[in-house]
Amino acid sequence: MTAYRCERIGHGGASALAPANTLESFDAALEVGVDMVEFDVRAWRGELVLAHTLLDARRGRSVPLSEALAHLASDRFDGVGLNVDIKQTRCEYALLSALRDYDLLGRTLLSSQIPSVLDTLRELEPQARIGISIGGRVARVSHRWGDWREQVLAGLASHRWDAVMAQHRLIDDGLLGAVAARGGLLYAWTVNERPAIEALSRLGVHGITTADPRLFA
C-alpha cells in the first residue's frame, strides 16, 4: 500500500516570498521545499507569458513562457512538478508545444477555470494530466457553474478531466470521497494559514497550494 502524501504546491512559485510568476519566486519555492510550482499563463502581443490578469500582462514585466520553462527544465528543478493555470482560450496548442520542447509535459498538471480550454487540451494531447479549477462564488457565476459539484463529478466520471482544483473553502469530506470514487484527485487552493493546511492534510486532499511553502514545515 502506498503511504498517503499531500503534494506541497507553491502558488506562483512562492508568492509570499517573491513576486508571483517570476523566476525569483520559483527559486524561493525550491529553496524552502515544494513538490510542484503553480503559475499562470496567458497570451500577450503574440507570445505566451506568465501573468495572472490582463493588467499584469500589460505592465510589460511578465516572464515569457519559454524563459520560465527553460529555467524549470534545469537540473536544479529535477523532480519538481508544474501546475500551469491557463487563463484564456487559444493558448492550448502553443502551450503544449512549448512543454514538449522542454520535455516538461510529463511533469505538468494543466488546469483552468474554462472547461473549453480543457476540452481542447484533451483533444490535442489525450495523455495530458488535466484539472478543472473551481473558484469562489463570483468566479463560479462568471463561468456559469450552476450545480458545480454535479458537473465537475460528471466530468471526472467521463474522463473529461483528471483532477479538481478547488478553492479550499469548497472542500469537505463528501467532495473528497466523491472525487476519489471517480478515480480523480482533489487539490486545494490557495491556503495561507497553517491550521487550514493541517486540517486539509488530515482530510486527505491530494495537494495544497500556498503562497508561503514554509507553512508546510
Residue entry with cell 479549477: 133
Question: pTM for this one?
Answer: 0.96
pLDDT at 138 over 80: no
Separation of alpha carbons 51 and 43, rounded Å: 9
* Cβ pair 191, 214 in contact under 8 A: no
CA distances from 146 to 142, 152, 177, 189 (A): 10, 11, 21, 21
3-state SS, residue 48? strand
Structure-block grid coordinates of residue 66: 519559454
Query: pLDDT per residue over 75-112, tens digit each?
Result: 999 999 999 999 999 999 999 999 999 999 999 999 99
Q: Which of 57, 61, 53, 76 is nearest to 22 (CA)?
A: 61
- List of domains in the chain: 7-216 (3.20.20.190)
Question: What's the confidence (pLDDT) of residue 145?
Answer: 80
